[in-house]
Amino acid sequence: MSRYTAFAWLLAFGIVFQLSHGVEVNVTDKEDMLCLYANLNVSFSVSYEVAGDRNKTIEFTLPNEVTTDGSKCDTTSSTLKLNFGTGHSWSVNFVMNGKVYQADSITFSYNLSDSTHFPESLSNETVSVTMKPQITNVGVDTCYSCKSKDMIQADLVNMTLSDVLIQAFVSNGSKSENITSCSADQPTTPAPPTTPATSTATAAPVTNFTSTAPPPTTTPTPTLPTPTTGKYSIKSDNSTFCLLANFGLRIGIKQGEKYQEMNLEPNMTKVSGSCGVNSSELQLVSNTMTIMFTFTNNTTKFQLHALNFTAKTTSGVEFSEVNTNLSLWEAAIGSSYMCNKEQNYTITNVLTLYTFNLQVQPFGVTKDVFSTAEECQADAESFLVPIAVGVALLVLILIVLLAYFIGRKRNMATGYESF
């Protein structure tokens, strides 16, 4: 049974937990001058384990009642930390780079022992998830503004930012009126009309017929086929499999204004890696890219913790990105993680990972085969339609049978019998 079946039924019956909306804060420095300003809305969707080997998912928003303990301002780095509820916090780390700054990471910590937010939770630990936001190239002495919704996804936590207005490095204690807007808010500029070129040549004589020029042809952007599902494995010293991974993989990379996607070709990929007690690695090397997956575990669950990617782009420029604070593909030790549906993961602001027919098990492999799979949310939700159809058909059959027996009983009461 899927670990997200409970979430699917919660959605079916519309059970959602909500808090209040929006928060505005001012962070001051040692001289009590404004050094960081924020006005934003953050909503959370969190899945956690409850009794009966089930997962429960709740949704809530960042409340107005927050404290900024742990926030700090510096000349090259600043941190906005918002504490709320019983042991929960949401923080953003900003870094300065010349005349622009960006959000380097977002960390969400939630206390599962808080029964108000996480009823029936089996765990009482505080979990921290770090993600990479899309807040980049913000000019110094400007506020970053993004009214559009920006969803940042991890395995068990989704965060959605909206109506964001932030200035991370405030100078002279006064918030700037200048704005750096996110790309989602910027209007699409139509192409300017083409002006016919003027000519000083003698005009050709007018003739009494018309001619319609053929429409201009455009070359469509080629669409990549669905990546081939590859089967990758690592053996331990005793020649038994200790890491198994099946997936089709597509990589999306952004360099400036150019975006490019490439598929990993399994039949042209070399596999290497290692297995450890608390850390395992899978390295895939093809003609176009090198990917290193690092998995870690806390003795009860494993997750994809880091990804290191390098590639040669079509322009010939080498591309390299790494994220060592991931929390993806989480499952219990002794089981595998599965997600058959296409999924996309924002690894960094310029690197996106697309997976197809994914199943991984970096620890606890026995008999050289995958253990029972814990399914992702997208796969679990796919069960809703057949379940709903089956229930509807069952109800219809019961109604027909009931109508038949009622009719038969009435006929028998009037002296007739149906054959």
- Report which of 310, 342, 303 is spatially closest to residue 326, judged by C-alpha positions: 303
Q: pLDDT at position 308, please? A: 93
Kindly state the tokens that stand for 145: 């503004």
Kindly state the tokens that stand for 70: 């742990």
Q: pLDDT at position 1, please? A: 43
Handedness of CA 113, 116, 117, 120 (dihedral sign): positive
Same domain, 275 and 327: yes
Q: pLDDT at position 416, please? A: 52
- Say what the alpha-carbon torsion angle 222, 223, 229, 234 is, to the nearest 10 degrees: 60
Evaluate if residue 159 carries a pLDDT over 50.
Answer: yes
Same domain, 82 and 30: yes
Report the phi/psi class of residue 32: left, alpha or beta, with left for phi > 0 and alpha for psi in -120 to 50: left
Write the DSSP string, 32-46: S-EEEEEEEEEEEEE
Tally of domains in the chain: 3
Angle, alpha carbons 72-46-298 (nearest 5°):
80
Q: Can you name the residues that pair with 154 across neighbouring β-strands? A: none
- Confirm whether 225 is domain-assigned: no
**pLDDT band at residue 256, thresholds of 50, 70 and 90?**
confident
Same domain, 146 and 16: yes
Token pair 């690894």: residue: 347
Length of the chain: 419
Query: Which tops the pLDDT comparison, 408 or 165?
Result: 165
Same domain, 167 and 282: no
Same domain, 237 and 304: yes
> What is the average pLDDT score of the chain?
82
- Confirm whether 387 is domain-assigned: no
- Confirm whether 314 is domain-assigned: yes
Q: pLDDT at position 241, please? A: 95
**pLDDT band at residue 414, thresholds of 50, 70 and 90?**
low
d(CA 134, CA 182): 9
Q: Can you name the residues that pair with 38 across neighbouring β-strands? A: 25, 166
Kindly state the tokens that stand for 73: 């301002």
Evaluate if residue 14 carries a pLDDT over 60.
Answer: no
DSSP 121: B
Same domain, 172 and 267: no
Angle, alpha carbons 336-8-163 (nearest 5°):
100
* Residue where one domain finishes, among candidates 150, 184, 218: 184
- Report which of 148, 127, 115, 30 is spatially closest to residue 330, judged by C-alpha positions: 127
- Report which of 153, 169, 197 is spatially closest to residue 328, judged by C-alpha positions: 153
Same domain, 376 and 401: no
* pLDDT tens for each residue of 161-192: 999 999 999 988 899 999 998 888 876 555 45
Q: Can you name the residues that pair with 133 across neighbouring β-strands? A: none
The range of the structural domain enclosing residue 318 comes to 230-381
- Confirm whether 205 is domain-assigned: no
Query: Any idea what the CATH number is for the domain that residue 246 is in?
Result: 2.40.160.110
Q: Is 352 helix (H, G, I), strand (E, B) or coil?
A: strand
Same domain, 236 and 103: no
Kindly state the tokens that stand for 218: 């455009």
- Confirm whether 337 is domain-assigned: yes
d(CA 316, CA 320): 13
- Confirm whether 213 is domain-assigned: no
Same domain, 366 and 407: no
d(CA 408, CA 402): 10
d(CA 165, CA 132): 18
Check: CB of residue 269 under 8 Å from CB of residue 283.
no
Q: Which residues contact 403 (CB under 8 A, 6 or more apart)?
A: none
Q: Is 115 helix (H, G, I), strand (E, B) or coil?
A: coil
Token pair 């009037």: residue: 414
Write the DSSP string, 67-105: B-TT-EE-SSEEEEEEEETTTEEEEEEEEEETTEEEEEE
| Long-range contacts of the stretch 309-315 (C-beta < 8 A, 24+) | 309/251, 309/347, 309/351, 311/251, 311/253, 311/262, 312/288, 313/253, 313/255, 313/260, 314/260, 315/255, 315/258
Q: pLDDT at position 310, please? A: 92
Kindly state the tokens that stand for 236: 């331990």
- Confirm whether 52 is domain-assigned: yes
* pLDDT tens for each residue of 338-383: 999 999 999 998 999 999 999 999 999 999 999 999 998 876 655 5
H helices present in 264-360, as ranges: none
- Confirm whether 196 is domain-assigned: no
Same domain, 20 and 141: yes
Q: Which helix (H) or strand (E) holds 284?
A: strand 279-285
Same domain, 263 and 369: yes
Same domain, 297 and 403: no
